[in-house]
Amino acid sequence: MIPIVRRIVAARVPDRATADDLVQETLARVLAAVERIEPGMVEPYAIVTARNVVATMWRDQDRQRRHQHRVVDLRPPELPDEDVLAQEDRHAMAEALTRLSERERDTLLAHEVSGQDTHSLAAELGSTAGAVAAQLNRTRARLRVEYLLAADRVEPPTERCRPVLLALSSGDRRRQREVDAARHLLECELCARLSEPLMGRGRSRDDEVRVAVRVDADVVAARQAARELAARLGFASTDLTEVATAVSEIVRNIVRFADAGEVLVELLDSPRRGIRITARDSGPGIPDVQEALREGYSTYRGLGLGLPGARRLMDEFAVASEPGRGTTVTMTKWREAG
Amino acid sequence: MPGPRLFSILRQGSCLIASIHTALDDSQLLRFQQDLVETIGRDRARGVVIDVAALDVLDSFATSTLRDIGEMARLRGAATVVVGIQPEVAIAMVRLGLRTGVLETALDLEEGLARVDGRLAGAADGRRDR
């Protein structure tokens, strides 16, 4: 288990000393929880914990950075290497600031550093306070992206990277869908890494769960996550089992046919209460979706009921697939009849 | 990582009782299948009772693995009975459209053992059974 945790943390945290601390923290948390974990689930639990620990660190750092100008220096005496790190941090921040437009930079600095409020900024710019605040939010989102890129000393490899990172940084879900952010993160290693601190930002949502899917065990983790979330809506146990079974069928396809994918489980409020599962992969895609939904379709050992079977268990079911790019299955079960 | 046992295979007379303790993923199911079929041969078992009461999901893969086990056990001369399928699981299996007709089932472990004993007695009694 330790090598896995170490690998996960090391992939996200470049600094070795910090990475070691986070690994220790993860193991401590897993040990503390070991009695509550179902047998056989310790490893998935450790993986999720490791990701959370890293995300929390980023979030805390980000929060500290944002609030830094507000504190009088209360920090403890600096460690020898802290100076170097702080210097790198300053470089990255300075570099990121130069990548903003002049107007963005001036407004941001006037607000964040000089403490000028949005009303007086709006008066100067001939705009409204609301518009200035929105502009400031966009600027901060851009600054976060540029800061991460500068700190990493990388340029995004594709033209899609910046729009995707920006959409994630601003937390704008509509924009994220427009640029197909989730798919891009599966395809682009750099963005997958940089997006971690960006996604950890903002209100933590307790009405959705994401499960990364690579190996067999992830199928079990995904269906258990779906069952647990659905249980909160008070679904009957028959419905819970049907949801878990449908998730099992669909997520297995990711492990079989695609190398990597992700399952998003969300609770829905409108048009009525329900649970939606989105399983996305960057695999070879399904050449003929209609054919795959037909009864008796089979491409692997088993009963060949993957898609049509899962469709029967859920209320709504849709498959979108693009050959060579991957497949997205979206399925919903409603809590009460419509 | 040697975690807690995922399943156990115990011998009782000429019978094996195979209990699955927790949700198994596909590769763990295949290991269960392999272990069980090997044990049937090694112990010269005549009957196998598979207890799946701990499973909250029996999807197409799990079901086909159970069917395969039944078939492999039959080829090795043992009768298989699956016991403990939960009511919700049964509903989901049927709605999923799984065909499980060839799998012999019983409500619980006790009934399963009685069934296997009956089959063995019947077979010894001039093969009335089948």
A281-299 pLDDT tens trace: 988 888 888 888 876 655 4
Look at residues A40, A69, A98 and tell me which one is the last residue of a structural domain. Answer: A69
Whether the Cβ atoms of residue A164 and residue A145 lie closer than 8 Å to each other: no
Residue A206 has pLDDT above 80, yes or no: no
> What pLDDT score does A203 carry?
46
pLDDT of residue A78: 58
> Which of A31, A48, A69 is the endpoint of a domain?
A69
**Residue A212 located in a structural domain:** yes
Q: Is B126 left (phi over 0), alpha (psi -120 to 50) or beta?
A: left
pLDDT at residue A60, rounded to an integer: 83
CA A1 – CA A7 distance, rounded (Å):
10
How do B79-83 and B105-106 pair as beta strands? Answer: parallel
Q: How many domains does chain A have?
A: 2
CB-based contact (8 Å) between B124 and chain A? no
Listed in sequence order, the residues at least 6 apart from A68 whose beta carbon sits closer than 8 Å to its beta carbon are none
Amino acid at A195: S
A330 φ/ψ angles, rounded to the nearest 5 degrees: -120, 125
Query: Would you say residue A192 lies in a domain?
Result: no
Do B6 and B32 contact (CB within 8 A), yes or no? yes
Structural domain span for residue A245: 208-334
The answer to whether position A60 is within a domain reads yes
Chain A residues with CB-CB distance to B87 below 8 A: 238
Structure confidence at residue A302 (pLDDT): 41
User: A37, A69, A101: which is the final residue of a domain?
Assistant: A69
pLDDT for A3 equals: 84
Mind listing the pLDDT tens digit for each residue in B74-112?
Answer: 998 899 999 999 999 999 999 988 877 788 999 999 999
Residues B6 and B22: beta-carbon distance below 8 Å: yes
Of A145-159, A183-197, A282-296, least confident by mean pLDDT is: A282-296
Q: Which fold has domain B7-124?
A: Transcription Regulator spoIIAA (3.30.750)
Locate the domains of chain B by residue range.
7-124
Say if A225 falls within a structural domain.
yes
Q: Do B59 and A248 touch (CB under 8 A)?
A: yes
Give the torsion sign (CA, A49, A51, A57, A61). Answer: negative
Q: Is position A314 within any domain?
A: yes
Distance CA A287, CA A282 (A): 14
Domain containing residue A264: CATH number: 3.30.565.10
Whether A8 maps to a domain, the answer reads yes
The DSSP secondary-structure symbol of A69 reads G
Res A162 pLDDT > 60: yes
Out of A56-60, A157-161, A242-246, least confident range: A56-60
Verify whether the Cβ–Cβ distance B97 to A308 is below 8 Å: yes
- Mean pLDDT along residues A117-135: 84
**Residues in contact with A121: Cβ distance below 8 Å, sequence separation at least 6, in sequence order:** A107, A110, A111, A127, A129, A132
The answer to whether residue A57 sits within a structural domain is: yes
How distant, in Å, are the alpha carbons of B72, B105, B120 from that of B77? Answer: 9, 18, 11
In DSSP terms, which residues pair with A320 in a beta bridge?
A: A328
Name the residue among B25, B63, B96 with its Cβ closest to that of A217.
Answer: B25
Quick one: pLDDT band at residue B3, thresholds 50, 70, 90? Answer: low
The pLDDT of residue B1 is 46
A306: closest chain B residue by CA: B60
Give per-residue pLDDT as tens, A214-269: 999 999 999 999 999 999 999 999 999 999 999 999 999 999 888 889 999 999 88
> Is residue A25 within 8 Å of A13, Cβ to Cβ?
no
Determine contact: B90 vs chain A, CB below 8 A: no
Q: From CA A252, how far away is CA A7, in angstroms rounded? A: 25
| 3-state SS class at A259 | coil
SS3 state at A244: helix
- Nearest CB among A40, A219, A295 relative to B4 is that of A40
To which residue do tokens 């009460």 refer? A336
Whether A231 maps to a domain, the answer reads yes
First and final C-alpha spacing in chain A: 46
Higher pLDDT, B67 or A269: B67
Contact B10, B17 (CB under 8 A): yes
pLDDT at A293: 82
Q: What is the pLDDT of residue A133?
A: 83
Collapsing DSSP to helix, strand or coil, A24 comes out as helix
